[in-house]
């Protein structure tokens, strides 16, 4: 086998804080961060879910990450993503800056326009049709605040946000949006929604890189992938079946899946990499929007009915076996090096 | 003041020039206060470092504090409600309350600094109307009401947090009618009796059908003598000069620290003198709290800890406070709508 040079990337995980009992879901999240840090993960990212419309239990990632910051020392604290139209940009800038101070500048702030939250706009007194314009106005205001721009009467953001401006990310579903993220000098998050890697995500990544103009800093692409290692493909599918089929009606409604297909096809359409570690390494290498683009690989290891033990075991296998085979090296933590393979 | 009240402290997270250490110091103050047996700690919200208060995000900091403490109640005194999106506030408070095992006490106020309202692109003249509107929305969300036509509700559901709201306002009849707690501080421009009367009006306005008892937080600045009072002297002088410049205090107020502190309604001196001063305020019962502020803008952490120790050992017990008397309310099950 020939060694292809792989550009260095960071490894993170993303959690949607699933679970019946929110208090337990938060405790589990805290433990996931502690375990991931010990395994050498570079970051943990939390999705924001509002109100009772879905399965995610956490509307306040920055409040939860402040708790995580007290239990960890090095791991980066990401949001993947915050629904920006529902936020007051000043309050968000303040909360993010306080968290950044508390955590020793570990925040990575991912932002989205709320495409997966259309039902929630009316509860926040907003019109979902305006969400893209809303996003751009608020994101620019947020950036100005983080840069310390003066407001009325020369007031400015307090506490000052040291460098947080350089740690913003956008999630976009359109080529125009990806190019916009580049022009703003921000990172691009791919795969936060169910988008096809070849026909949707790859063009987004290309448009983003093409539109990047800042010569002082490099573009950065985060790629979210569902990664469910198990003993073999059959046992991985058995663990996943209930949760995948639960999504099928919604995905059909949203036009992302054309018709009822079998579980194998659904897993493929939803970009779920599963099976034995070798199977997963193989399928991630085939992913057309992954290894030649990724600066931050962000794995999802929790489905709605996953147990905490399953999530932690998947994180371990990813840090010890899968990510190293793709070229990732832990910068810190206790990760053991994979054994050299012969052959 | 009768026995069997709760003892708390309030920090405004002051600092003359920002350094992230101010948050670590606040964490440490909560940890020490819990060890000393304090029942509650409260943090103030300031935007854009108005009055040199360094904390715009009390719920974020309290989430970190919740990881370092187990028992002490975690309060805000206050959050400037007209400047908060009410549904986001409800979400953040509900999450924090679960992370903190039901220890959150949510204190709210209308705010006053016109410049900060302008920075939020809000009209300061409309702050009271906006306060009422946001309070209603917050109350609905925490009561797990339907929030739109599809019947969406707050998630996580709040567990009893709607019964742990506090208001800092002189409109005490409204606070009583809503069944919320009252946060009151002595008004230095009025005699002590005015505060006593305010609390009486609040208690008289309480409706018998409220599910909880009336409850008062009495905030009092207290500076026991005996430590290094360099910072106190400098801060008070600077404060008086500022207040004189904007015409709130008359220019005749001189340089004698004791006289100035008395004029400002701050208790200072020996433990005996402070106990005497505290006895002159409103009576506090088992549902009420004495909440002391022991820091000015540049008080070092060790001075704040010294003051809390004296309060714990010499002052609060003389007023009838006993550690562990405070009511700890367990998390209530969410109300099914």
3-state secondary structure of A76: strand
Smallest Cα distance from B55 to chain A, Å: 8
Q: Is there a cis peptide before residue B252, judged by omega within 30 degrees of 0?
A: no
Here the tokens at position B79 are: 């959050």
Q: Do B119 and A153 lie within an 8 Å CB cutoff? A: yes
Q: Which residues pair with B224 in a beta bridge?
A: B269
How many angstroms separate the CA atoms of B34 and B54, rounded?
22
Write down the mean pLDDT value for chain A. Answer: 90
pLDDT at position B329, please? Answer: 54
Q: Identify the helix (H) or strand (E) that includes residue A109.
A: strand A107-112
* B23 touches B61 (CB < 8 A): yes
φ, ψ for residue A46, nearest 5 deg: -120, 135
Residue A171 in this model has a pLDDT that exceeds 60: yes
Count Cβ atoms within 10 A of the Cβ of residue A15 and give its class: 0-12 exposed, 13-18 middle, 19 or more buried: buried
Question: Which of B18, B148, B155 faces A158 most closely, judged by CB atoms?
Answer: B18
Residues 6 or more apart whose Cβ sits within 8 Å of residue B51: B12, B14, B113
Residue A313 in this model has a pLDDT that exceeds 80: yes
pLDDT tens digits for range A236-294: 999 888 888 777 777 777 776 766 678 888 888 778 999 999 999 999 999 999 999 99
Q: Identify the helix (H) or strand (E) that includes residue A107.
A: strand A107-112
Q: Do A155 and B116 lie within an 8 Å CB cutoff? A: yes
Q: Which residue do the tokens 């809503």 mark? A: B178
Smallest Cα distance from A305 to chain B, Å: 18
Q: Do B67 and A63 lie within an 8 Å CB cutoff? A: no
3-state secondary structure of A246: helix
Q: Which residues of A touch B63 (CB under 8 A)?
A: 63-64, 66-67
Count Cβ atoms within 10 A of the Cβ of residue A309 and give its class: 0-12 exposed, 13-18 middle, 19 or more buried: exposed
Domain A10-325, CATH number (from 3.20.20.80, 3.20.20.30, 3.90.76.10, 3.90.1170.50): 3.20.20.30
How many angstroms separate the CA atoms of B118 and B116, rounded?
5
Residues 6 or more apart whose Cβ sits within 8 Å of residue A310: A239, A301
Interface check A209 vs B, CB under 8 A: no
Q: Which of A56-65, A204-213, A242-251, B231-240 has the lowest mean pLDDT?
A: A242-251
Q: What secondary structure letter does DSSP report for A318?
A: I
- CA A183 to chain CA centroid, nearest Å: 21
Q: Do B119 and A26 lie within an 8 Å CB cutoff? A: no
pLDDT at position A52, please? Answer: 83
How many angstroms separate the CA atoms of B312 and B326, rounded?
14
3-state secondary structure of A298: strand
How many angstroms separate the CA atoms of A95 and B61, rounded?
9
Interface check A105 vs B, CB under 8 A: no
Q: Which residues pair with B166 in a beta bridge?
A: B107, B181
Interface check A18 vs B, CB under 8 A: no
Which chain A residue has the Cα nearest residue B96? A63
Here the tokens at position A302 are: 């929790």
Smallest Cα distance from B99 to chain A, Å: 7
pLDDT tens digits for range B273-317: 999 999 998 999 999 999 999 999 999 999 999 999 999 999 999
Q: Do B98 and A26 lie within an 8 Å CB cutoff? A: yes
* B36 touches B74 (CB < 8 A): no
Residue B252 in this model has a pLDDT that exceeds 80: no
The residues in A 50-79 lying below 8 A from B, measured between CB atoms, are 50-53, 57-60, 62-64, 66-67, 69-71
pLDDT at position A34, please? Answer: 98
Extended strands (E) in B189-230: 216-224
pLDDT tens digits for range A40-81: 999 999 999 999 877 899 999 999 999 999 999 999 999 999
- What angle, rounded to 10 degrees, do the helices at A202-211 and A175-183 form? 30
Q: Do B60 and A156 lie within an 8 Å CB cutoff? A: no
How many angstroms separate the CA atoms of A53 and A71, rounded?
30
Interface check A223 vs B, CB under 8 A: no
Interface check A106 vs B, CB under 8 A: no
Q: Which residues of A touch B92 (CB under 8 A)?
A: 59-60, 63
pLDDT at position A5, please? Answer: 59
pLDDT tens digits for range B129-167: 999 999 999 999 999 999 999 999 999 999 999 999 999
pLDDT at position B263, please? Answer: 84
Q: Which residues pair with B106 in a beta bridge?
A: B76, B165
Interface check A127 vs B, CB under 8 A: no
* A91 touches A160 (CB < 8 A): no
Q: What interface predicted TM-score (ipTM) does this complex get?
A: 0.95
Domain B6-228+267-319, CATH number (from 3.20.20.30, 3.40.640.10, 3.40.50.1000, 3.40.50.300): 3.20.20.30
Q: Which residues of B touch A160 (CB under 8 A)?
A: 18
Here the tokens at position A277 are: 């570690």
- CA A96 to chain CA centroid, nearest Å: 17
Region of A268 please: left (phi>0), alpha (psi -120 to 50) or beta: alpha
How many angstroms separate the CA atoms of B110 and B124, rounded?
10
pLDDT at position B191, please? Answer: 86
pLDDT at position B131, please? Answer: 98
Write the CA distances from A54 to A48, A59, A64, A173, integer angstroms. Answer: 11, 11, 19, 20
Which chain A residue has the Cα nearest residue B87? A124
Q: Do B18 and A160 lie within an 8 Å CB cutoff? A: yes
Here the tokens at position B96 are: 């924090």
pLDDT tens digits for range B49-83: 988 999 999 999 999 999 999 999 999 999 999 99
pTM equals 0.94
Region of B328 please: left (phi>0), alpha (psi -120 to 50) or beta: beta
Q: What secondary structure letter does DSSP report for A145?
A: H
Write the CA distances from A212 to A186, A248, A298, integer angstroms. Answer: 9, 36, 22
Q: Which residues of B touch A88 (CB under 8 A)?
A: 83-85, 88, 120
pLDDT tens digits for range B84-99: 999 999 999 999 999 9
Question: Which of A59, A66, A156 faces B60 most closely, judged by CB atoms?
Answer: A66
pLDDT at position A261, please? Answer: 73
* B7 touches B38 (CB < 8 A): yes
Residue spans of the domains in chain B: they are 6-228+267-319
Kindly indicate the confidence band of residue A135, based on its pLDDT and cuts at 50, 70 and 90.
very high
């Amino acid at each position: 086998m020939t060694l292809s040079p792989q550009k260095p990337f960071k490894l993170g995980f993303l959690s949607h804080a699933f679970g019946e009992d929110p208090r337990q879901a938060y405790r589990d999240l805290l433990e996931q961060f502690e375990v991931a840090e010990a395994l050498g993960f570079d970051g943990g990212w939390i999705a924001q879910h509002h109100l009772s419309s879905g399965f995610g239990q956490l509307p306040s990632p920055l409040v939860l990450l402040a708790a995580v910051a007290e239990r960890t020392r090095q791991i980066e604290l990401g949001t993947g993503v915050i629904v920006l139209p529902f936020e007051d940009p000043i309050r968000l800038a303040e909360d993010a800056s306080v968290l950044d101070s508390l955590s020793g500048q570990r925040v990575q702030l991912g932002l989205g326009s709320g495409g997966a939250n259309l039902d929630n706009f009316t509860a926040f007194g907003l019109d979902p049709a305006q969400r893209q314009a809303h996003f751009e106005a608020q994101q620019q205001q947020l950036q100005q605040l983080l840069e310390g721009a003066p407001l009325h009467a020369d007031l400015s953001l307090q506490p000052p946000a040291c460098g947080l401006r350089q740690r913003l990310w956008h999630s976009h579903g359109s080529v125009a949006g990806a190019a916009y993220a580049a022009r703003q000098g921000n990172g691009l998050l791919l795969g936060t929604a169910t988008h096809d890697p070849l026909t949707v995500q790859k063009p987004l990544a290309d448009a983003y890189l093409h539109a990047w103009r800042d010569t002082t800093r490099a573009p950065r692409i985060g790629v979210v992938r569902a990664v469910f290692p198990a003993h073999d493909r059959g046992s991985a599918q058995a663990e996943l079946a209930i949760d995948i089929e639960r999504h099928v009606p919604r995905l059909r409604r949203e036009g992302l899946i054309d018709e009822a297909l079998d579980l194998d096809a659904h897993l493929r359409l939803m970009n779920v990499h599963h099976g034995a570690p070798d199977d997963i390494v193989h399928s991630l290498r085939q992913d057309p929007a992954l290894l030649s683009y990724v600066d931050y690989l962000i794995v999802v290891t929790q489905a709605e009915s996953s147990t905490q033990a399953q999530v932690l075991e998947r994180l371990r296998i990813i840090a010890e076996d899968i990510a190293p085979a793709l070229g990732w090296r832990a910068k810190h933590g206790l990760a053991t090096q994979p054994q050299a393979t012969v052959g | 003041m009768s026995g069997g009240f709760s003892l708390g402290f309030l920090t405004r997270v002051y600092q003359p020039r920002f350094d992230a250490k101010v948050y670590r110091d606040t964490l440490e103050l909560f940890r020490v206060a819990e060890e000393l047996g304090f029942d509650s700690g409260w943090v103030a919200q300031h935007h854009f470092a108005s009055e040199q208060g360094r904390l715009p995000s009390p719920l974020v900091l309290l989430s970190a504090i919740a990881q370092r403490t187990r028992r002490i109640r975690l309060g805000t005194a206050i959050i400037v409600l007209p400047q908060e999106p009410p549904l986001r506030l409800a979400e953040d408070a509900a999450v924090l309350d679960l992370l903190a095992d039901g220890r959150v006490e949510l204190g709210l106020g209308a705010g006053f600094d016109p410049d900060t309202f302008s920075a939020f692109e809000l009209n300061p003249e409309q702050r009271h109307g906006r306060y009422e509107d946001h309070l209603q929305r917050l109350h609905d969300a925490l009561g797990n009401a339907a929030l739109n036509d599809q019947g969406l509700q707050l998630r996580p559901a709040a567990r009893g947090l709607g019964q742990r709201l506090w208001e800092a306002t002189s409109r005490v009849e409204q606070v009583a009618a809503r069944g919320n707690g009252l946060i009151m501080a002595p008004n230095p421009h009025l005699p002590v009796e005015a505060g006593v009367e305010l609390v009486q009006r609040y208690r008289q306005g309480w409706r018998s059908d409220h599910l909880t008892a009336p409850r008062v937080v009495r905030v009092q600045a207290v500076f026991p003598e005996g430590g290094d009072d360099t910072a106190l002297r400098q801060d008070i002088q600077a404060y008086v000069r500022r207040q004189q410049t904007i015409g709130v205090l008359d220019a005749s107020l001189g340089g004698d620290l004791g006289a100035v502190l008395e004029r400002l309604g701050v208790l200072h001196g020996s433990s005996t003198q402070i106990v005497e001063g505290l006895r002159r305020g409103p009576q506090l019962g088992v549902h009420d709290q004495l909440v002391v502020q022991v820091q000015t803008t540049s008080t070092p952490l060790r001075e704040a800890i010294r003051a809390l120790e004296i309060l714990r050992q010499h002052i609060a017990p003389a007023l009838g406070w006993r550690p562990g008397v405070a009511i700890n309310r367990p998390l209530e099950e969410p109300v099914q709508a």
